[in-house]
Amino acid sequence: MARRENPEINAGSMADIAFLLLIFFLVTTTMNVDSGVSKKLSEKPPADYVPPVIKEKNIFEVNINRNNELLVEGDRMEIKDLKEAAIKFIDNGGGEGKVENGVATGPCTYCNGEKSETSSDHPNKAIISVQSDRLTEYGTYLTVQDQLLRAYSELRNRLSIKMYKMPFAELEEAYKDDKDNESLKKKVELIKTSYPQIISDAEPTN
């Protein structure tokens, strides 16, 4: 009886399949991306720059200690209460706004705050200063920043609905879809300048 020979296996096609599988897994595999806070760093001032004098009442101090506890204006506060406290400070409208091009902005006509003499004069003068400890957890810092940004978002939405009958998020989205629309551009810029996001990060404590 004749001996049957085993057929050879074409290894070339196996290599092609392995290569295709490799490409498939590279395309479909998701990578973990580190999240962070989007910040626009200020430019270095000139050597002869003289910083303006800032009233203490126009600074809203937020401190996070190494135990992840929140101190706002020297008093302990829960993070969940930070947004409302920030809104109250920013929207106080207790005085005059910044001097721009030699002309004072004047009092805030759109603010709904208490107009307290001990709180901020105007949204464009209200500065939120955040200082953390070097041992503060990153998650706590991000949560605090998120609450402060939510405060600005709520104020902008409120003003946008009052002036243009639509939330600021929708107004901004409409402008993104139609960049050549000068009317939408002016509306977006007006809301942003009415409630400018002025959040300063102080040097962390040891």
Classify residue 119 by its DSSP letter.
S
Tokens of residue 92, six digits: 């106080």
Stretch 93-119: mean pLDDT: 84
CA–CA gap between residue 162 and residue 155 (Å, rounded): 11
Please give the pLDDT value at position 46.
74
Contacts of residue 59, Cβ cutoff 8 Å, sequence gap at least 6: 127, 128, 129
CA–CA gap between residue 157 and residue 149 (Å, rounded): 12
At 131, which helix (H) or strand (E)?
A: strand 127-132
- For 118-140, b/e burial (b = at least 16 CB within 10 A) is ebbbbbbbbbbebbbbeebeeeb
CA–CA gap between residue 131 and residue 60 (Å, rounded): 11
CA–CA gap between residue 24 and residue 76 (Å, rounded): 53
Q: Is the pLDDT of residue 11 over 60?
A: no
Tokens of residue 109, six digits: 């006509």
Amino acid identity, position 19: F
CA–CA gap between residue 31 and residue 82 (Å, rounded): 34
Q: Is the pLDDT of residue 95 over 80?
A: yes
pLDDT single digits (tens) 124-179: 999 999 999 999 999 999 999 999 999 999 999 999 999 999 999 999 999 998 88
Tokens of residue 108, six digits: 């805030």
Stretch 198-205: mean pLDDT: 87
Stretch 64-81: mean pLDDT: 93
**Which region, left, alpha or beta, applies to residue 154 given φ > 0 means left and ψ of -120 to 50 means alpha?**
alpha
Classify residue 99 by its DSSP letter.
E
